[in-house]
Chain A
């Protein structure tokens, strides 16, 4: 049935402003970045003039060639993927029991427990990262306890701060709520009768989890993994503040190119490669998700 003209206009009236917002502040900058990646850096940063002295337009693949020939960038990239993966796995391992606990607790406590999960968002992100500097600092109780135990077994003291350990601990801490919330939203909807049925049919607690609860929670797992993995992949503040010299990630590299080296074309190339990698991984996860849902299985968010 064809929509009436007034309905058609109404639709655009509602969805137009957010669409315009995204066009101006997301699509246009992305396009500018794509164009910049094919340009040369300017003498004093930024971009070189589009028409050079010879009058030819400034379009080349030099920045791409640099990324794919100098292995150091690929290494940073792989390291970033690795950190993001570890962060995602730790978040999943910590968030699953937490989400399950909230989902199975009495209804009157659930809102309070959820509030506690999102409570960290009420203080500034950077302040929370700096707080970890104090927690992990050399004179804090944690470092003293760890190094005290290490000294007891005859091992030398290790710095907790400015290390991969500090970066990963903080990455997990910052991203944990993003894993808990979609998992909770999924687990909360599970039908208790299915577990009763599984138990009635001979499944013990372990089998009930792995054969019923976990497969049915996969949409929540994928959603949480995407919400953790993608931001963790591009993060720069945490390695900047808590990391050591070897903890430079792709996010730091991009920030460096734009703000310090002022090589906009190369920074754009790094950003584009990161975006494409994230999209490819999200697509792969969605594909795996559809396959494991068993062809026609009902998708449950």
Chain B
């Protein structure tokens, strides 16, 4: 049995169903992420695990015990809040000592545990400071130390890095991964940032409109999105839709308007005539000027409509003669050169069969 089981949990606010019959099983020691756009229900689900909100239907089990009757203070679950919620009238030590005092930890053990927790988040020596004397990243670490000091069964993190700047966020991501490995506590992490989710998690549950669209390892979420929403939400993706015209040996052919027949790999064989979508990552599309150089199965010519220089890569938005837009991505391996093509350049795009991923529906 999984450590934390969410069974058919539903939460409604008036006419709005924030969480719609969600079932998840989160294993001990896992770094599990709830990923989705704002309003998808991920924070509501987190608040129900913490006990600040109660499900209208379904159950939440921790180690097999139903948590329904236990208020937040009686759950072995701790939350790192988005706003950090550090107590402004207490020092860093006072903040970290708070849960220990609430748990009636013997006075002699408190100092040692505080030191250990602050050491874990690399804040040794900051104990006497007040929250307003700390930077955003330091506040974040205090919030994590405070939540971890009593060794909870599950740590819930509600967009903890959202308020940090990009560089610091990356550092904190690496620290979070190491910290989770070190303490071995199950992390349930909420974010709307897909790169963060991919970088941190063992498994990701992608949520949309209160429902879980897919639960999988990051590489599978990215490589084999089960729905068009997942494909579109995680990274950039060309979604090529149309009816299935052939299906044979794990390869389907979809007739895409404005592009023609596109062949892609499929896990299951769809019925001929059924609607389908091929998810094609821009980095898998080869782009060049010479049509003969490409020996891939899928080939299309077009004209560069827009380009976006990102430093490491340049994104080309190519319009096909049929009027469809396809994104292709080219690494700028040659330094000092921003782009290989200009707007209005005629280009040839191609990609192998296994570059595309077929999604039914």
By size class, the interface of chain B is: 20 to 34
User: Is B72 on the interface with A (CB-CB < 8 A)?
Assistant: yes
**Complex contact A194–B133 (CB within 8 A):** no
**Complex contact A191–B71 (CB within 8 A):** no
CA distance A203 to B91 in the complex (A): 18
List residues 169-196 of chain A with CB under 8 A from any CB of chain B: 191, 193-194, 196
**Complex contact B81–A197 (CB within 8 A):** yes
User: At the interface with chain B, which of A45-53, A77-85, A292-300?
Assistant: A292-300
> B87 touches which one: A198, A207, A293, A300 (CB < 8 A)?
A198
A294: chain B residues at CB < 8 Å are 89-91, 130
**Complex contact B73–A202 (CB within 8 A):** yes
User: At the interface with chain A, which of B23-31, B97-105, B261-269, B312-320?
Assistant: B97-105
Instruction: Render A198-219 as a binary contact track against B, CB cut-off 8 A, 1 for contact.
Output: 1111111001000110011000
List residues 305-336 of chain B with CB under 8 A from any CB of chain A: none
User: Is B229 on the interface with A (CB-CB < 8 A)?
Assistant: no
List residues 269-301 of chain A with CB under 8 A from any CB of chain B: 293-298, 300
**Complex contact B150–A193 (CB within 8 A):** no
B88: chain A residues at CB < 8 Å are 194, 216, 297-298, 300
**Complex contact B98–A200 (CB within 8 A):** no
Q: A199-B72, A200-B73, A202-B102 known; A216 and B89 CB under 8 Å?
A: yes
User: Is B83 on the interface with A (CB-CB < 8 A)?
Assistant: yes
Q: A194-B85, A211-B98 known; A199 and B132 CB under 8 Å?
A: no
B73: chain A residues at CB < 8 Å are 199-204
A298: chain B residues at CB < 8 Å are 88, 130, 132
**Complex contact B89–A196 (CB within 8 A):** no
Nearest B residue to A212, CB-CB = B87
Instruction: Render B57-83 as a binary contact track against A, CB cut-off 8 A, 1 for contact.
Output: 000000000000001110001110101
CA distance A198 to B146 in the complex (A): 11
A295: chain B residues at CB < 8 Å are 130
CA distance A296 to B131 in the complex (A): 10
B164 to chain A, nearest CB (A): 18
List residues 78-129 of chain B with CB under 8 A from any CB of chain A: 78-79, 81, 83, 85-91, 98-99, 102-103
> A296 touches which one: B50, B102, B133, B146 (CB < 8 A)?
B133
CA distance A197 to B84 in the complex (A): 9
**Complex contact A196–B71 (CB within 8 A):** no
CA distance A202 to B76 in the complex (A): 9
**Complex contact B52–A196 (CB within 8 A):** yes
Give me the 9 closest cross-chain CB pairs, A-B, nearest first: A202-B102, A197-B85, A201-B99, A193-B85, A200-B79, A199-B72, A296-B130, A202-B73, A297-B89
Residues in B lying within 8 Å of A, measured CB to CB: 50, 52, 71-73, 77-79, 81, 83, 85-91, 98-99, 102-103, 130, 132-133, 146-147, 150
Q: What are 12 A-B contacts with C-beta separation under 8 Å?
A: A191-B85, A196-B72, A197-B81, A200-B72, A200-B73, A201-B78, A201-B99, A201-B102, A202-B73, A202-B102, A212-B87, A298-B132
Known: A193-B85, A196-B81, A201-B78. 5 other contacts (CB 8 A): A200-B79, A200-B147, A201-B150, A295-B130, A296-B132
